[in-house]
Amino acid sequence: MLKEKIKVAVFVSGGGTNLQAILESERRGEIPDAEIKLVLSNNPSAFALKRAENFGVKSVCVDKGVYKTLQEREEKTIEILKENGIELIVLAGYLSILSESFTKKYEGRIINVHPSLIPSFCGKGFYGLKVHEEALRYGVKVTGATVHFVNEIPDGGQIIMQKAVEILDGDTPEILQQRVMREAEWKLLPASLEKVAKKLREE
């Protein structure tokens, strides 16, 4: 007997293109084992909140300006997650490192997308354009994206899925970032979410 669909919260800080990819996949019926119940941001002006509204998904903001310390923000976040019955968290461009106590509390239930093939160009300080700048500086011919479970080590959790993306002559960090999003992140994240949700449902 399958449990009900796994209730998911997506954590965002910025534009929310990965959130858009998840919501569109859900609408197309490609994530049958999960339901996006909540979008949570730490940035009140994140465009991702508008995307959530466009899809009729509840959104909340745990504003750094209001909750000054990480502990206060995480306590408020946990309260919100409990209120909404959240069972799985997706980090989709969430620019805040979660504490060890938070990641332990949701062990095996937080996934993140990172714009490189881990273990390359990952860890503390590697996010956004910086990852692509470093890949180009190093001269690698292939990059990509990785979806992994989140633990107390930044980008250190078990890998769920990866997809390679070719680096082309003349690539700038911005061009490469767009290609990695289109060819890897926007496909991997919904697929990984479904894979994890399906397993949780069967447990």
- Give the count of beta carbons closer than 10 Å to the beta carbon of residue 27: 11
Distances (CA, A) of 27 to 43, 65, 132: 26, 34, 30
| SS3 (DSSP) at 148 | strand
DSSP state of 182: I
- H-only helix segments in 16-69: 17-27, 47-54
162 CB-side CA count, 13 A: 13
In the block, residue with structure tokens 């300080």: 125
Residue 48 contacts residue 17 (beta carbons within 8 Å) = no
Q: Check if 148 is active-site.
A: no
Alpha-carbon span 159 to 143, nearest angstrom: 16
Tokens of 24: 């569109």
Tokens (6 digits) for 101: 């106590």
Please pick, among 114, 132, 148, 179, the residue that the annotation labels catalytic.
Answer: 114
The catalytic site residues sit at: 114
